[in-house]
Chains A and B, each alone.
Chain A
Amino acid sequence: MRMIRSLACLALSLTLTCGLLAAPARAGDPAEVMQQWYRLVLELVRHTATYSPPVAARAFAYTGIIAHEAQVGGPGGGVTLAGQVNELTALPARDPGLAYDEAIVLNAALTEAVDAFFFNTGPTGQRAMEAMDKALSAQLAEGVDPQVLRRSVDHGQAVARHIIAWSDGDGGAVIDNMGFPETWVLTPGPAHWVPTSTVALQQKPLLPYWGNLRPFALPDGATCGLPPPPDYSEDPGSDFYREAKEVYDAVNALTPEQTAIARFWSDDPMLSPTPPGHWISIAMTELQIEGADGPRWGAVMARLGITLADSFIGCWHTKFEYDLVRPVTYINRVIDPNWQPILITPPFPEYPSGHSTQSGAAAEVLAAVFGADHAFVDGTHLDDGIPERAFASFQAAAEEAAISRLYGGIHFRAAIERGLTQGACIGAYAVALRMSE
């Protein structure tokens, strides 16, 4: 069975990477519209310089909500999130007496969404967005009554614009300087974060105010907060030293499997679809295997996007509450001045681990969507020459994603284990959203 699923995944991954656009979409199929736009969105996230993981997660949330809300009022379109997520007001309604083409509504909405949330992508991304819009719009319009076409486009655009206007007020719409503030005072003391690279921009931490953004399902960034990390100490008998020594020893004795795990989940910005994009990719594959329809796609992408975005807000709130030093800094100072982790240490405080929080949240949501024991094969990085990995459940994948950061040498155990806990807490808020009748 695993072999069959693996082959299915490979086939789907190849489909994802080998030119969906080249194969005409089935006219009027909203699921196909979702697949095509989301394939492009994953590329745009990877190739837009500002899209660090928190920023990417925000875009996934709004794009998913637009995809869901565009289908509300249509056949099987589910329940609006207005009134359920923070400050989202009632959306433009359809005229119940008139006909709409669901694929055209969705395509119009996603075209607006991608234009808005990836306006800052480079010339190649702009060209790709234009090509996608042109090709899909032409395919979907074939044989459709012009009045239905116009009405459907108008409705999709109106829904998208309502949500885009709502997004403007969350505190995350403008990202200056790729997210690195020009001025920021480092917290004094050895326990606190200091730059870990010689990249000039990264002498300040990434997005230190992100924890203050308006979340989606989460009441605020402080919800699902965590207790403090182990007290900083350089005493070899202390918990803090033991955690650092664990990272040091682990990296120095990595097995090939542990190295593979660290690299599989690394998901570096600009070189991958980012960590939240990794979970979006997993969900896309499972939806394709399932043969999900458009409303199901929209609901899953909305719920998953929401929890990913909320998890970065919550995690960042905690990160800057404690502002903890990274392993490489501590280990070089206290244990071994020449030690280096195998992964690039991200340019922001250590506790908790963002990978762990967002993976814990994603697993919570995907388990609710597909089942707690849903086994799957993850081929997110096949294009990059990284082999797929199989998991018995989303929770198992989340736990592997979390521990990968210890193998990579960039997180202590407390940040990993408590990050998963924080993620589960945040995920529960997204799971509680009512999205179907």
Chain B
Amino acid sequence: MKGIVLALALMTMALAAAAASGETAIPRFAEETAPSGLAHSFTGEWTFMVGGGAAVFDCNGDLRPEVLLAGGTAPAQLFRNDSAPGGALAFAALPDSGLAIDQVSGAWPLDIDGDGITDLALLRVGPDRLMRGLGDCRFEEASADWGFDGLDLWSTAFAATWEKGQSWPTLAVGSYIDRRQEAFPWGSCTPNHLYRPAPGGGYGAALPLSPGFCALSILFTDWNRSGRPSLRVSNDREYYKGGQEQLWHFPADGPPRLYTPEEGWAKLRIWGMGIAQSDVTGDGYPDYFLTSMADNKLQVLKDPASGKPQYADQAFKRGVTAHRPFTGGDPRPSTAWHAEFTDVNLDGRVDLYVVKGNVWQMPDFAEKDPNNLLIQNEDGSFTEAAETAGVLSFAEGRGGAAVDLNADGLPDLIAVNRNAPTQVWRNLGGPGMGHFLALRLSQPQGNRDAVGAIVEIRAPGLPVQTREITVGGGHGGGHLAPLHVGLGTAETAEIRITWPGTAGPGPWQSLAADRVWLLAEQAKPVPIAP
């Protein structure tokens, strides 16, 4: 803890000259893959041409998150985070975590049984598994104990939400192609499945969410700020017939049902591969970056007052089409997978990290396809900065994460590559970095991590930032870490929280910048670092 205090203090001093020029600051990153010890590859052929993600979460309570990497044909591997606060990244492979399981395509951390210890959902090509956290980074399979039938499918997407009155989460698992189909796999998308809690805990039978259109990313999201999340599903048009992107209602009084054209849902058909969510426009409603091939989308709600889920694509307008390599000389279109909004320069405007890579020797698409780090400018446009920032990679990327790994307040970056080593970059900051808040929400039972909470942050000189705590989206993985928000030059900010299941936001509360805060429901904020 003392180390974290020192690191954050140094960081605060460095931030004293925070940006005031209006120019977009670009942080410097250093690749620390080899020296950090994060040595692992996601491997496989056809059934692992998709998937490959990272689950990032703290399983030993030191506020520096561990990293679980899906392995495909290789076993998944959990790495303990031994990074010195503010220092170089350092990881140690844990041989006895209980997670060395093969055929894993993706992993998401969440506290399923509400015991305060993070569990894991492991998606597989084969039966999925729920892993109970035992503490100290040890896990055991709890699928049978929890009545979870992992089915024998090619699972590719995951999301979770706590429905009203439930102490266990509802789980949604997206699946891909019927892998037994060799000559004619097209049109063979298998259903997605929903697991709703059983009375007393655990799960009942899986409920098919049909039709399934080969989902590669799903996300429970409160798109209309109704307090009741819907399920957003991004589907791969390569394999469906008659399919499209989907949005499911989750009504309190009935089974899930799809939003219809009459309700305003417009048909969109892309090679949907990943969903990233954040409020980019500052209107208080979530916007969605959808990854695809040659044609990524930034969907912005057209008219919140209409109550209709109608979106305008602002990718072109804002410069985030990321449709072809920005460097490297390969002119062919790009293939994008994991995407995540994060504020790498802490200026109070979310940036966008996109992991890219050819599917598998597809000659119509770039083979040298660099990941993107798109930094948001003051006018809402984005500027490509991956090369300048030092995170250029031409590996065949799939999953990723943007999380502060060394407790210095700066988001670091992970890229999970297919048939190549996973990479990790440390954010070294640089001139013009802003201040930040890290917010760990906590509820006393059930939904311990307040998944579904809406957090608003206001700081002088910045629009109100609105974030939703979610589990899902991305590609192949996600993280359960304190909500990280850049504040620009502000040294304090006000926040207010709409806790899951409550009618409206709580009071504004003032917090000092550059700290990790524990925000327990109906309790005063407590700084837990420094």
Contact = CB atoms under 8 A, between A and B. Distances in A.
Nearest to A385: B242
B186 A43 contact: yes
Given A47-B186, A128-B184, A271-B269, A123 B364 contact: no
Nearest to B293: A49
Given A120-B364, A178-B294, A198-B315, A21 B183 contact: yes
Contacts, number: 99
Most chain B CB inside 10 Å of its own CB: which residue of A49, A268, A271: A49
Contact of A199 (B185, B295, B363): B295
Residue of A21, A48, A198 with highest tally of chain B CB at under 10 A: A198
A87 interface: no
Interface in A195-230: 198-201
B182 A131 contact: yes
Nearest to B244: A271
Contacts of B361: 123
B359 interface: yes
Contacts of A198: 313, 315-317, 321
Contacts of B45: 123
Given A178-B333, A178-B364, A271-B237, A21 B242 contact: no
B235 to A, nearest CB: 12
Interface in A379-415: 383-386
- The binding surface of chain B is classed by DSSP as loop
A132 interface: yes
A105 B28 CA distance: 62
Interface string B236-249: 01110110000000
A40 interface: yes
Contacts of A201: 294-295, 323-324, 333
A19 interface: yes
B316 A120 contact: no
Interface string B167-196: 000000000010000111111000000000
B360 interface: yes
A270 B293 CA distance: 12
B496 interface: no
Contacts of A385: 241-242
B362 A120 contact: yes
B332 interface: yes
B49 interface: yes
Interface residues of B, number: 36
Contacts of A49: 293-294, 333, 362, 364-365
Nearest to B183: A131
B399 to A, nearest CB: 18
A122 B185 contact: no
Contacts of B49: 123
A50 interface: yes
B241 A384 contact: yes
A115 to B, nearest CB: 13
Contacts of A176: 331-332
A128 B333 contact: no
A200 B185 CA distance: 30
Contacts of B360: 122-123
Given A177-B333, A198-B313, A21 B364 contact: no
Contacts of B324: 177, 200-201
A383 B295 contact: no
Given A120-B362, A201-B295, A383 B184 contact: no
Interface in B386-444: none
A149 to B, nearest CB: 22
Interface in A28-54: 39-40, 43, 46-50
B238 A119 contact: no
B317 A270 contact: no
Interface in B311-352: 313, 315-317, 321, 323-324, 331-333
A132 B361 CA distance: 20
Interface of A: 17, 19, 21, 39-40, 43, 46-50, 119-120, 122-124, 127-128, 131-132, 135, 175-178, 182, 198-201, 268, 270-271, 383-386
30 contacts: A40-B183, A43-B184, A46-B186, A47-B186, A49-B293, A49-B362, A120-B362, A123-B362, A124-B186, A127-B182, A127-B185, A128-B182, A128-B183, A128-B184, A176-B331, A176-B332, A177-B332, A178-B333, A198-B321, A200-B295, A200-B324, A201-B294, A201-B295, A201-B323, A201-B324, A270-B238, A384-B241, A384-B242, A385-B241, A385-B242
